[in-house]
Amino acid sequence: MSLFKLPDLGEGLQEAEIVTWHVGEGDHVVADQPLVSVETEKAVVEVPSPWSGRIRTLFAQTGDTVAVGADLVEIEQEIGADTGTVVGSVSPAAPVGAKPVRPQTPVARGEVIKCTPAVRALARELGVDLATVAPTGDHGQVTREDVEAAAGRGAAKPDLEWQRVRGVRRAMARNMTASGRSVVPATIMDEADIHGWAEGTDVTMRLVRAIGAGVAASPGLNAWYDAAGERLLIHPEVHLGIAVDTEGGLFVPVLNDIANRPVDDLKRGLEALKAAVRSRQIPLEHLKGQTITLSNFGTLGGRHAHLAIVPPQVAIAGAGRIVRKVVPDGDTAVVHPVLPMSLTFDHRVVTGGEAARFLMALILDLEKRA
């Protein structure tokens, strides 16, 4: 027998939540076959089998949180079987007479509930026991519609209870805690008159270009601050984090080197990032390294905002909801579409003047016709 432990998933992550087991006790597996899908603070990751053999024990159930290095599965290896490609901590069988620590109720074949974290959260919210729901999704997966249908059949509302914050939402909670404890935020706001835009203009791409113009005018906002070392690192390239709202929480994929790429390339890159986020298959390297962030919250609502900076970044820009306003045009008044902009900066290392120059350059770029 061989024990396979949860491998290091990268990015310094210390634990992961079991989303779906793809095998059950007694199943035969081959090397590199997917064993389990786990959710980290960043994404859902498939963990493959390191060996060929037969599953003897699963040490965690769907919904459990497992620490990196903890026992994940016990496999009876086939003699002479090839070893898989997983890089992780594995250990030989326990000594004779020793018993592995098992969960109170081991996962049995046929009892695994397959669903996404968002569907599981919805079931908890609606008071639906997933074990009673008949799945209609692909490969026996419980869908949102299945849960909503079960709730409509008169499922009893449970007593209110605390729920553990997991995955992406836990990462957000930790990041915001770090921001609140260390950053000294200040916010300035203005509006861009965008009446010169052609019909069908891609708002996001105009915002991306305008961020580049802001950084060119005030490079100190495209920076990281190391408070412990009292050091500031100003980046020569602009790696823009773009906030993407999903049912599972807030993701911030990174659009790299925005100032030196053509618009078509940036647009393709952004669409690929959004698709990867929606499928929860985005590589971890595409969720790190941002030097400044953009939140286009106006697509959902709101005009101006006091935004939260995630250290070590020192600035975040926000675009509000486009509205039509009466504005002066010489000696007359006209109605034009106006895009509200907010800029929150870390006042420990960014001056008000630097922030104002950044915002004015951004506004001027947005107000250009082309």
pLDDT digits (tens, 9 = 90+) for 287-328: 999 999 999 999 999 999 999 999 999 999 999 999 999 999
Residue 297's pLDDT is 95
Instruction: Calculate the average pLDDT of the chain.
Output: 85
Bridge partner residues of 94 (DSSP):
none
Strands 292-295, 315-319: pairing is parallel
- pLDDT tens string 192-218: 999 999 999 999 999 999 999 999 999
% of residues, the chain, pLDDT over 90: 51
Query: Does 347 score more than 70 pLDDT?
Result: yes
- Asked whether the predicted pLDDT for residue 176 surpasses 70, the reply is yes
pLDDT at 80: 61
**Interatomic CA distance for residues 221 and 316, integer angstroms:** 9
- Domain with residues 2-92, CATH architecture: Beta Barrel (2.40)
Could you tell me the residue ranges of all domains in the chain?
Answer: 2-92, 169-366
Residues 264-287 have a mean pLDDT of 91
DSSP character at residue 58: E
At 348-357, the pLDDT tens digits run 999 999 999 9
Whole-angstrom distance, CA of residue 178 vs CA of residue 84? 39
Spell out the residues 6+ positions from residue 352 whose beta carbon is closer than 8 angstroms to its own.
186, 188
| Residue closest to 185 by CA, chosen among 318, 322, 365 | 318
DSSP 311-346: TTB-EEEEE---EEEEEEETTEEEEEEEEEEEEEEE
pLDDT for the residue numbered 249: 81
| Whether the model pTM is above 0.85 | no
260, 216 Cβ separation under 8 angstroms: no
User: Angle formed by the axes of helices 203-217 and 263-278, to 10°?
Assistant: 110
- Topology of 169-366 in CATH? Chloramphenicol Acetyltransferase (3.30.559)
Q: Determine the Cα–Cα distance for residues 48 and 30; give it in Å rounded to an integer.
A: 9
Residue that wins the pLDDT comparison between 132 and 153: 132
